[in-house]
Amino acid sequence: MKSALTWEIIAKCSTTKARVGKLILPHGPVDTPVFMPVGTQGTLKGITPKQLEELGCQIMLNNTYHLGLRPGQELLEQIGGSHNFQNWSRNLLTDSGGFQMVSLLKLAKITEQGVEFQSPHDNESTMLLTPEHSMSLQNSIGADIIMQLDDVVSSLTTGKRVEEAMYRSIRWLDRCINAHRKPDSQNLFAIIQGGLDINLRKKCIEEMILRDTPGYAIGGLSGGEEKDIFWRIVTLCTDLLPKNKPIYCMGIGYTEDLVVCSALGVDMYDCVFPTRTARFGNALTPKGSLNLKSVKFSKDFQPIEKDCDCVACKSYTRSYIHLQATKETVGCHLITLHNVAYQLRLMRNIRQAIIEGRFPSFVKQTFKDLFGSEEKYPVWAINALKSVNIDLLS
């Protein structure tokens, strides 16, 4: 199908499946592997678009379900989309809205037509999100990358339902492609389903490759499955998906997950974790998270992270942020700014290490900094990295 992006691989790791790419989207370039912060309601938790741009963020996520409710499709059409509404001149990605419905609304029911759910307005009437409706909404929002509506099942579900969801997701992809009004300016990504079943995943990929979408997402994971199964599904997908298209793994944001998945060949990630955890006073660092609410930081006069050039680290000590953390909005904004800076720097460091041919040693150092001693390394990460020729324990 039509594509509104170009995608060029700039460097490949000679040991693992990691790669650095340049993705050119309608609102500018995106260097991959990329972490996309989540601005659910058309704003990233207290951060201005200017601040986000200064942090070097090239693409942000908005949630279709939330924007559909507020400010609503009509208003978004009127103002010419979410970029204009929030004054964000760089790239946006929207989800289909389906996942949010299934996870936020208890009584959602999935039929061949779409996702049926109780109206959040009156809790009485039922509403229906179809692939066509999701496309229409996402076309009005106008994000640079949009996602197909997929049939979401929990990754813990087994049996017939997983197979049904996989085949239905393929049928819904076809309906999304048909309903997509703006293929010249918005890139529709397919979402690979099939649960934890290797054969179903293979079948899904086979079918979806035939649809030739501009990019692919690995769906149906991060739902509480064993991490050792999670990485095996990810690596299966990156093996089978076309090498000339970006691959997006949804809902990934922890440091170790980002490093491992990049080694497995994933290019794009999103997660609410860095911004959500900031609201509870947690600042991310290469040595793990610091809970700045804790009194042990009350007389700690170093910055959150020594070499970080974010506003929080350039301006304040941990002691001062401790005073503000979880008590004033400024404390929250400062930690959010730092955490976004941390995530973007981590991705920059991953890319740099791949380009300079030292990705394996970078991965080892990252684990050493993060977990301290080898006994604390998660087994799944050791196994996953071993599959791409990095021995964390050597």
Closest CA to 142 of 191, 101, 183, 200: 183
From 31, 95, 144, 151, the catalytic residue: 95
Residues 28-57 that bind other proteins (CB under 8 A): 41-51, 54
Contact flag: residue 291 with other proteins (CB under 8 A): no
What is the distance between the alpha carbons of residues 197 and 171, in angstroms, rounded to a whole number?
A: 19
| Residue 258 phi, psi dihedral angles, 5° rounding | -65, -40
Q: Is 270 a catalytic residue?
A: yes
Which of 275/289 has CB closer to other proteins? 275
Answer yes or no: 31 catalytic: no
At position 369, the amino acid (one-letter code) is D
In the bound complex, what is the minimum distance in angstroms from residue 168's beta carbon to Zn ion?
44
Q: By three-state DSSP, how is residue 207 classified?
A: helix
Distance in Å, CB of 67 to other proteins, minimum:
9
Tokens 């049904």, residue located: 164
**Does position 184 bind other proteins by CB under 8 A?**
no
Contact by Cβ (8 Å): 371, 344: no
Rounded-to-integer distance, Cα 385 and Cα 387, Å: 5
Size of the site for other proteins (CB under 8 A): 42
Q: Give the range of 72-80, 113-121, 175-183, 377-385 binding other proteins by CB under 8 A.
A: 72-80
Asked if residues 321 and 300 have their Cβ atoms less than 8 Å apart, the reply is no
97 annotated ligand-binding residue = yes
Q: Is 281 one of the annotated binding-site residues?
A: no
The size of the interface with Zn ion (CB under 5 A), counted in residues, is 5
Look at residue 313 and give the partner it binds from Zn ion, other proteins, none, a contact being a CB closer than 5 to 8 Å depending on partner kind. Zn ion
- Binding residues for Zn ion restricted to 289-348, rule: CB under 5 A: 308, 310, 312-313, 338
- Cα distance between residue 201 and residue 192, in whole Å: 7
Nearer to other proteins, 17 or 333 (CB): 333
Q: Which residue has the tokens 């972490």?
A: 35
Chain-centre distance for alpha carbon 114: 24
Alpha-carbon span 346 to 377, nearest angstrom: 19
Q: Are 302 and 317 in contact (CB under 8 A)?
A: yes
* Of positions 157, 185, 291, 317, contacts other proteins by CB under 8 A: 317
Binding region: 95-99, 150, 193, 220, 308, 310, 313, 338
Per CB under 8 A, residues contacting other proteins are: 41-51, 54, 66, 70-71, 75, 78-79, 85-87, 298-299, 301, 311-312, 315-317, 319-320, 322-324, 327-330, 332-334, 337
